Amino acid sequence: MADAPKKRTTDIGPPHYEQFLPPAIKKNYGQWKYHEILRAGVMKHVAENGDAVYTVRAGGSRLMSIDKIRMICDLADKYADGHLRFTSRHNIEFMFTDEKKIDTLIADLKKIGHPVGGTGPSITSIVHTQGWVHCHSAATDASGIVKSVMDAVIGHFENMDLPAKCRIALACCLNMCGAVHCSDIAILGIHRRPPKINHDLLHKTCEIPNVVSACPTAAIKPTTVNGKPSVTVDEERCMFCANCYTVCPSMTLNNPLNDGVSIWIGGKVSNARHEPMFSKLAIPYIENNPPRWPEVVEAVVNIIDVWKNNARKYERIGEWIERIGWPNFFKLSGIEFGKMHIDDFKHAGLTFKRSAQLTY
């Protein structure tokens, strides 16, 4: 890129956060003593000096119009002196010192379609990605599944009725834009067929050495087709990751007949009790079934129900399954175990059951 013209303002970074802090937050910054969750979505934080701040958390839609942002600003002006924040999972929080505002704010939020909840042992917003709304790589839509699943589990958003937090995430392809790989439940868009190669265009759009080295399984080899440099894919070795497509537009993976989602469970991020864990494969494939992906919704609901009915307090999904063992999880959930569940990538050997500690 050429140098920027002299007088343009550049590299100013974001505005300083301090100007945005609600007054009671600014005053007690670093002086918090403890907190309580008063009910789902409502918290009270108490400072060393006794000051209390109330937080109301509303489910965010993430994909939001400026119209909605303005409505939310209206509520912030009305209830919180024009202050608000978004959480790391895209929910919206209002903070104020007057406890009495809580109920009316919640009622006003409901009016514009935003439920309150997501604190404590509950389900909070699903972290997700672009899907068919914006990304070229998507094997499924993001927002449609998220909406359908949240509609089904909203009871667990509005009530803290689960053994522990349950963090759901969705990514529309293996690039996994989010912490999908470390979620209690992850919904992942997948392809099931090798790339279709546009041999006429490839040499113009892609750097062949980059393409070759992009493949995790070394399935791609350089070749010449109709006199033009191109690549071939050893279809036996391809596991449809689409990494070649990421570096080369002439190798499309998208395939309406075969794309779909897989479900992964038992990951977590916090260090509480168990160290962070990756999610593990539960269901290898469910067809794309827009607009509401009922099979995906059912699968997620089933996993949550089985967990809720069997886990002990504070056990996140991965911790629960680690205690009861995966054979019991498959038995209880009715999900079938098969070859695809068995790891065959780099560290596969370490996932084999290397002991006689077994359940039947």
Q: Please identify which residue in 84, 160, 168, 231 interacts with other proteins, judged by CB under 8 A.
A: 84
Q: Any contact of residue 168 with ligand SRM (CB under 6 A)?
A: no
62 near other proteins, judged by CB under 8 A: yes
Please count the residues of this chain forming the interface with a copy of itself, following the rule CB under 8 A.
9
92 neighbors 60 (Cβ within 8 angstroms): yes
Strand 196-197, strand 251-252: pairing: antiparallel
Q: Is 59 in the site for ligand SRM (CB under 6 A)?
A: no
Contact between 360 and a copy of itself (CB under 8 A)?
Answer: no
Q: CA 307 to CA 261: how far, in whole Å?
A: 21
Nearer to ligand SF4, 5 or 209 (CB): 209
8 Å CB contact between 59 and 125: yes
Residue 118, amino acid: G
Strand arrangement of the beta sheet that strand 52-58 belongs to: 32-39, 42-47, 52-58, 92-96
Is 88 a binder of a copy of itself (CB under 8 A)? no
For residues 249 and 325, which CB has a smaller minimum distance to a copy of itself in the complex?
Answer: 325
- By beta-carbon proximity to ligand SF4, the closer residue of 102 and 180 is 180
In single-letter form, the type of residue at position 128 comes to: H
357 counts as binding a copy of itself under rule CB under 8 A: yes
Q: Give yes or no for residue 130 binding ligand SRM (CB under 6 A).
A: yes
Task: Give whichever of 132 and 223 is closer to other proteins, judged by the CB atom.
Answer: 132
For the bound state, the minimum distance from the C-beta of residue 77 to ligand SF4, rounded and expressed in Å, comes to 26
Q: Name the residue nearer to ligand SF4 (CB basis): 77 or 344.
A: 344
- Nearer to ligand SRM (CB atom), residue 217 or residue 270: 270
Q: Which is nearer to ligand SF4, 78 or 249 (CB)?
A: 249
Question: Would you give the distance in Å from CA 100 to the centre of its chain?
Answer: 34
User: Given the rule CB under 8 A, which of 96-104, 225-233, 288-296, 298-306 is the region that contacts other proteins?
Assistant: 288-296
Q: Give the one residue of 38, 39, 108, 132 binding other proteins; rule: CB under 8 A.
A: 132
What is the rounded CA–CA span in Å between residue 274 and residue 272?
6
Q: CA-to-CA distance for 186 and 267, rounded, in angstroms?
A: 8
Q: Does 333 bind other proteins (CB under 8 A)?
A: no
261 close to 244: Cβ distance less than 8 angstroms: no
Q: Do strands 260-265 and 280-287 pair parallel, antiparallel, or not at all (unpaired)? A: antiparallel
| Contacting range for a copy of itself; rule: CB under 8 A; set: 4-12, 85-93, 317-325, 349-357 | 349-357
284, containing H or E segment: strand 280-287
| CB hemisphere CA count around 123 (13 angstroms) | 27
Give dist(CA 243, CA 216) in Å, integer: 8
Backbone phi, psi, residue 80, to 5° = -135, 40
One character per residue 245-274, x = contact with a copy of itself (rule: CB under 8 A): --------------------------x---
Stretch that binds a copy of itself, among 57-65, 118-126, 234-242, 350-358 (CB under 8 A): 350-358
3-state secondary structure of 203: helix
Q: Minimum distance from CB of 240 to other proteins (Å)?
A: 7
Does position 175 bind ligand SRM by CB under 6 A? yes
Which residues are near ligand SF4 by CB under 6 A? Answer: 129-130, 135, 137-138, 171-173, 175-177, 194-195, 214-215, 217, 219-220, 233, 238-244, 253
Q: Largest Cα–Cα distance of the chain, in whole Å?
A: 78
Residue 232: C-alpha distances to residues 168, 218, 251, 270 (Å): 37, 11, 10, 43
Region of 5-13, 143-151, 164-172, 186-194 interacting with ligand SRM (CB under 6 A):
164-172
**Token pair in block for residue 62:** 């993430």
Q: How many chain residues touch ligand SRM (CB under 6 A)?
A: 31
Binding-site ranges for a copy of itself (CB under 8 A): 271, 275-276, 347, 350, 354-357
